Chains A and B, each alone.
Chain A
Amino acid sequence: MTQAVVSRPTAPARKIVQGVPMPSWPMRIFKGLVLLVFCAVVIIPFVGVISTSVAPNKQINESGGLVLLPKSVNFAAYQSLFSGGVVTQALFVSIFVTVVGTLLSLTVSCLLAYALSRPGFAAGRPILLVVLFSMLFSPGIIPTYLTVKGVGLLDSIWALIVPTMISAFNVVVLRAFFMNLPNEITESARIDGASELKTFVFIVLPLSKAVLSVIGLFYAVAYWNAFFSALLYLNDSKLWPLQLVLRTYVINDTQLGSAELGTELLPPQASIQMAILVVSIVPILIIYPFLQRHFAKGVLTGAVKG
């Protein structure tokens, strides 16, 4: 009885909140189907790639390429990728660039954003203008290349990190978030005698986990996905990150032999290619669910306050 009394008002209440009357069933089914098709278009390529990378050779040959449902699972392709050849090497480069790059980017961006978020910071205005103005135009490929060359970063792994270490947009988002923190918190920390650095590290950063994880994700994804800076700045194929390897052996279809793989174990090209793709996709798939709930928050702080 109570159950019914409590639950009954909620159904009409929801209708009022939504403002529009419940659509008819055919309409709802139609929308559901459209959405299902969209989601399928996004998911099927991933399913195909992952399935093919573990599918048995016979099945791959029969299908002529991609397999959607593997009849059995084997990891031969991954074994040969991870036996110390080009792909293993590239994986280490990519992991190094992503981890070190993201840490440096977050540090540098947060420090700058925090300084800019302090009320009454003497140099705040001119520095903020320098940051904002840089978003208005990009300096162009040629002068950027010549600058990177000028500071001696060509053919160095740091060329993948240093030039793109700071994004003005991310600084603006972080600054907006820091400014929204209640002033009383930092104020009371200062009164208790905490230095600027201590206030920042022990008070401000722990309160900013949501925005830090989103901005960290943006930086990490940018580093992991960086392809053009590697193409532009690195001639030495030993320094190639995963994305360049992917382009050479998957998109341009260059044969990966035992010399490149460092093993005699040679599964079919198709499954090796798909395995390289999977190796470059999976890290993003792993961190994605953890950070997803913060997306809207992180993106919108920037959009509203920016």
Chain B
Amino acid sequence: MLQRSSKHPQQQLSLGRRLLRDRVLLLFALPGVGLIIAFHYVPLLGNVIAFKDYQPFLGIGGSDWSGWENFSVIFNGDPAFLRALKNTLILTCLQSVFVFPAPIVLALLLNSLFSERIKRIAQSILYLPHFMSWVIVVALFQQMLGGNGLLNNYLRSHDLATINIVGNSELFHVLLTSQIIWKDTGWATILFLAALSQIDSQLYEAASVDGANRMKQLWHVTLPGLRGIIILLFILRLGDSLTVGFEQIILQQQAVGRDVSEVLDTYVYNNGVLGGAWGVAAAVGLVKGIVGVILVLTANKVAHIFGEQGVYQK
């Protein structure tokens, strides 16, 4: 009888017979794998249109090859492309500096609370915004900080000067950053809180016996305990450097204009799907994807060199 057991060596059976034996499992895997291939790997191949003069009525196969022509916006520095690149880089820097550390600070605060009950209540409140769509978040910010929002109505009713925040192109990058902080800081504490609970409490006792005050304990015990997870998340963040919030920006682009709001993803959407420059948009998207992969692999390599685990093992 063909029975699968981890005890007996598998090599006795040929691959064909093993596949036949596991046909039910293959059938289980089929729909999922099919979907991944159809909507992940097939589009990946579809990136060939970056090298084509794509015409919708001719299809991908029928369109002419155009070599590297579509990439000229990148290599020759087309102003619209450079503008998108610049905004992307600004936003990515703002996010690394302000969005990334926020959950670490909040997790330290939550972790230092003595009442478990207060901690749990605070967590359930702070996790909530993560589950709201960008449409809702943008609408809520409008209602709170917009021209007719709660803040400005309050200022107006007290005869104070109003503050123009939503729809102000000068503050747009700050607004985007604060929206991300509002939405995701609470949720992002989950991983840090888990890492904090793994730190051996004897380390704190030993430090305390050695005369370390709370600040020193934080520096010499808590932060080293968080190092692994911080590096892991930072590598992942780095891989996403060129992805800075697409839905969020598309929703607010009209109000502030493209000068401050065009990023690489919106450039691809606006030029490709809306503008019909399919090849150019695909070329920019392709380069963005490749740069992202290179960034993750490099960052991971650097982490290995410094003796950290990183995202995957060698």
Contact = CB atoms under 8 A, between A and B. Distances in A.
**Bind each other:** yes
Interface of A: 16-23, 28, 31-32, 34-35, 38-39, 41-46, 48-49, 63-66, 68, 108-109, 111-116, 118-123, 127, 130-131, 134, 136-148, 151, 162-166, 168, 171, 183, 195-197, 200, 221, 224-228, 231-232, 243, 246-247, 250-252, 274, 277, 280-281, 284-285, 288-289, 292, 295-296, 299-300, 303
Nearest to B35: A166
Interface in B225-263: 246-247, 250-252, 254
B254 A252 contact: yes
A277 to B, nearest CB: 6
A224 B43 CA distance: 24
A63 B193 CA distance: 41
Contact of A139 (B6, B28, B32, B40): B40
Interface residues of B, number: 101
Report, nearest first, the 4 A-B pairs whose CB atoms are least far apart: A19-B204, A112-B32, A143-B46, A225-B133
Nearest to B138: A251
Contacts of A200: 28
Contact of A284 (B15, B132, B139): B132
B305 interface: no
Given A31-B109, A228-B250, A243-B135, 16 more contacts: A16-B205, A18-B114, A39-B122, A41-B182, A46-B140, A108-B31, A112-B28, A114-B25, A123-B19, A139-B46, A142-B278, A166-B32, A227-B247, A228-B247, A251-B142, A300-B194
Interface in B134-151: 134-136, 138-144, 148-150
27 contacts: A19-B202, A19-B204, A28-B114, A35-B113, A39-B125, A66-B143, A66-B144, A66-B153, A108-B31, A108-B32, A111-B29, A120-B4, A122-B18, A122-B26, A123-B29, A141-B265, A141-B268, A141-B273, A142-B46, A143-B285, A232-B273, A250-B142, A251-B135, A251-B139, A289-B124, A299-B190, A303-B194
Contacts of A134: 36, 40-41
Contact of A48 (B114, B118, B150): B150
Contacts of A127: 29, 33
Contact of B35 (A108, A123, A243): A108
B208 A21 contact: yes
Given A42-B129, A49-B143, A140-B268, A162 B109 contact: no
B303 interface: no
A112 B114 contact: no
A111 B46 contact: no
B113 A39 contact: no
B126 A38 contact: yes
A227 B39 contact: no
Nearest to B19: A122
Interface string B177-215: 000001000100011011000000111110010000010
A296 B203 CA distance: 25
B131 A42 contact: no
A65 B44 contact: no
Contacts of A45: 140-141, 143-144
Contacts of B193: 296
Contact of A20 (B40, B204, B281, B292): B204
B36 A20 contact: no
Contacts of B289: 137-140
Given A19-B208, A143-B43, A171-B32, A225 B246 contact: no
